[in-house]
Chains A and B, each alone.
Chain A
Amino acid sequence: MQYKDYYAVMGVDKGAAQDEIKRAYRRLARKYHPDVSKETDAEKHFKEVGEAYEVLKDPEKRAAYDQLGANWKAGQDFRPPPDWDAGFEFSGGGFTDGDASQYSDFFESLFGQGFGSAFRSSQRGGGGFHAPGQDHHAKVLIDLEDAFHGATRSITLHAPELDPRGHMITRERTLNVRIPKGVRQGQQIRLAGQGAPGIGRGAAGDLYLEIEFRPHPLYRVDGRDIYLDLPVSPWEAALGAKVKLPTPAGVIDLTIPAGSNSGRKLRLKGRGIPAASSGDLYAVLQIALPPADNAKANELYRKMAEELAFNPRAGLGV
């Protein structure tokens, strides 16, 4: 088990006043809140900060933690000394309003079992304590094609759980979940009763799966609409043409209207993600120039230069 430096996590000195700790917590909580933050590992940071605050905000827990000594370094292998919390009196006991199952082994070893008795007795008392299990949230990565056809995804969840003796263990389980046709980025699937088991006769929590699309090499997705860059030759753009276009549902023919320019969006109605009102697919034209790397091509370009009175910068007034 690794020692955790709660002061470093909060970015405060060991002598920081309670006010200072509270301010640091508020700031870090906003910064790393998983609903708000775009930082990588926001959730991990948020949990660390929450755990550090859970200890440092409570003068009793903080004093007990400080008593471990100042020589520990974060990440160092740690075993709590025997009777480490002797001599402290704990009024509230154990976990307070935090989400206990989210905390580290380090926290658990210090404050989970020996620390006060209220929490444990409520867990193991047997006598009439019931609480619903927690909801679990997970992301499920799918391909855009899965949204077109539907799919089955096997997901593995690692859920912290209390065993009958009140110890934290990690349970792994694998679920096969149906991904319905027509899902969009960010949508959630609710699996009732697949969250954490309840305590006593409490009902199990629910599992929420958030859909996330793997980045696609060809398509970008906006809601139900799909965007695809479609390279065309200068003559296809100028004269019009019928070209092949890949879509997630298969290759189709697309007519390029004569006189199209680069960046023109051609909308294919209903070719986006399928639904009661399906999304659209937009082909964004990109004019690809043939390289002038041989005599024939050079001659053709020169001929265009001579025979087409064309100034691409006319709009700039030069």
Chain B
Amino acid sequence: MRREEEILVGLLLDEECQLTLGELSRACRVHAEWIVELVEQGIIEPRGDDLCHWRFSGSSLGRVMRVQRLQHDLGVNLAGAALALELLDEIRRLRNRLSIIDREL
């Protein structure tokens, strides 16, 4: 089969997708310690009691990468990045609601 005709099946990063601490840090190319810091800041919330049994949802991966970019590009610290993420999520929710309401009026 030619390469162009191959159909790639990726990993959908949703709630059902469960990543271990190792998988998450490898995918984001950061130290596990840094992920632990993000958990302590409440930026991402794993399921499971202790570090070895932590499982992160797929959406955590996007959050970790956004924090990386915000830190690297804008020089914000972790607490600032956490705040920015929450505000950005809220803005996205509101914008979406607004687009639904706009059409209802």
Contacts and interface: CB of A to CB of B under 8 A. Distances in A.
Interface of A: 26, 29-30, 33-36, 46, 50, 132, 152, 174-178, 180, 182-184, 186-192, 194, 206-209, 220, 222, 227, 229, 263, 276, 284
Given A30-B74, A36-B84, A36-B88, A222 B61 contact: no
Contacts of B100: 220, 222, 227
A220 B13 contact: no
Given A188-B62, A208-B65, 19 more contacts: A26-B75, A33-B73, A132-B29, A152-B7, A174-B4, A176-B7, A176-B8, A178-B7, A178-B8, A182-B14, A188-B58, A189-B10, A190-B61, A192-B10, A209-B10, A220-B99, A222-B97, A229-B103, A276-B16
19 contacts: A33-B70, A33-B73, A174-B4, A176-B6, A176-B8, A177-B8, A178-B7, A178-B10, A183-B14, A187-B59, A188-B12, A188-B61, A189-B11, A189-B13, A191-B8, A191-B11, A207-B10, A220-B99, A220-B103
Nearest to B85: A35
Interface of B: 4-14, 16, 27, 29, 58-59, 61-62, 65-66, 69-70, 73-75, 84, 88, 92, 96-97, 99-100, 103-104
B74 to A, nearest CB: 6
Contacts of B13: 187-190
A194 B10 CA distance: 10
A284 B92 CA distance: 22
Nearest to B104: A284
Nearest to B13: A188
A183 B58 CA distance: 12
Contacts of B14: 182-184, 187
A154 B8 CA distance: 10
Contact of B5 (A176, A186, A191, A263): A176
A263 B4 CA distance: 49
B12 to A, nearest CB: 5
Given A33-B70, A35-B88, A229 B104 contact: yes
A229 B100 CA distance: 10
B75 A176 contact: no
Contact of A187 (B6, B9, B12, B103): B12
A195 to B, nearest CB: 11
B84 to A, nearest CB: 7
B61 A35 contact: no
A280 to B, nearest CB: 13
The 3 nearest A-B residue pairs measured at CB:
A189-B10, A191-B10, A178-B9
A207 B9 CA distance: 12
Contact of A177 (B7, B62, B92, B96): B7
A177 B74 contact: no
Contacts of A276: 16
Contacts of A189: 10-13
Contacts of B84: 36
A222 B99 CA distance: 10
A263 B105 CA distance: 9
A30 B7 CA distance: 38
Contacts of B8: 175-178, 191, 194
Given A33-B74, A35-B88, A132-B29, A192 B11 contact: yes
